[in-house]
Amino acid sequence: MKGRPVGWQPEELAWIEARADWPRRELHRAFCAAWNRRDVSFTALRQLCKRRGWLTGRTGHFAAGHRPWSAWRKGLRHKGSEKGWFAPGGDGRQSRPEMPLGTERLGRSGYLERKIRMDGRGGERWRFVHTLRWEDAHGPVPPGHVLKCLDGDRLNTDPANWACIPRALLPRLAGGRHGRLPYDTAPPELRPALLAIARLEHAAREARTRKEHAE
């Protein structure tokens, strides 16, 4: 019983040890019937065997040469399973027609994406439209920099609507520090000032860092 020691007798322990390779459910039923020990729970007997190291010898793995139960039932299938079968000639990798090159879609992040290649991983096949247009006008985005939307409309992919800024400016533009307004939710007339302040603070920090390293 729970909270009380079982009080195993030496004869009972010897009986259990001699049958330790039995399945535990079967061993528990046989033990209760043979010794009239209705107070012994299945868990108590199982824990006893674990403590004493009396294992069943089963590993849970199929032994070499094991033949599955369905080996002689070629073509066995359950009714209704055909709903998940691949279409004839298909391999299941195409759940819908492949989108052609140049296709544009609205991504989960709210930016327009354009398909630029047919091979590679999903993230390699698509690029942001505003990035492509900005690079056409200005060249590749420098390392450590990102494009920031100026008017808050992520669907406006005009290169003039995007500023190339150091990635370190993003936390400053997110607001929260010293009660500063977040750039994206600030009134349009305040956004140029917020961006200019963030650039100035970042430049001052970079100058201090270079001075400290020089010393």
Task: Chunk the chain into consecutive blocks of 10 residues (it has 215) and report each block's average pLDDT, rounded to whole numbers.
Answer: 74 90 91 90 91 81 76 71 69 63 88 88 84 94 93 92 91 75 88 90 87 76
The answer as to whether 118 is a domain residue is no
What pLDDT, on a 0 to 100 scale, did the predictor assign at position 97? 65
Q: Quote the number of domains for the chain.
A: 1
Burial annotation 32-67 (CB, 10 A radius, 16+ → b, else e): beeeebeebeeebbeebbeeeebeeeeeeeeeeeee
- Give the C-alpha separation, 41 to 32, whole Å: 9
Q: Is residue 89 part of a domain?
A: no
**Sign for the pseudo-dihedral over CA of 79, 84, 87, 92:** negative
SS3 127: strand
How many CB atoms lie under 10 A from the CB of residue 138?
A: 13
C-alpha 9 chain-centroid distance: 52
- Within 8 A by CB and 6+ apart from 150, the residues are 161, 162, 163, 191, 195
Per the domain annotation, does 66 fall within a domain?
no
Which domain, by its residues, includes 32? 10-52
What digits encode the pLDDT tens for the residues 60-105? 777 787 777 777 666 667 777 777 776 666 555 555 567 888 889 8
| Residue 196 maps to a domain | no
33 lies in some domain: yes
At residue 137, the pLDDT reads 93
What is the model's pLDDT at position 145?
93
Q: Is residue 43 part of a domain?
A: yes
Q: Do 126 and 114 touch, CB atoms closer than 8 A? A: yes
Rounded Cα distance, 101 and 119, in Å: 11
pLDDT of the residue at 132: 94
Checking DSSP bridges between strand 162-166 and strand 145-149, what pairing results, if any?
A: antiparallel
Q: Which two tokens stand for residue 168?
A: 């370190």
Residue 98: the pLDDT is 76
**For the whole model, what pTM was predicted?**
0.52
pLDDT at 1: 44
In a domain, 57, yes or no: no
Strands (E) in 85-179, as ranges, are 104-106, 112-115, 126-128, 145-149, 162-166
Query: d(Cα 184, Cα 149) in Å, to the nearest integer?
Result: 9
Whether 209 maps to a domain, the answer reads no
Q: What is the pLDDT of residue 152?
A: 87
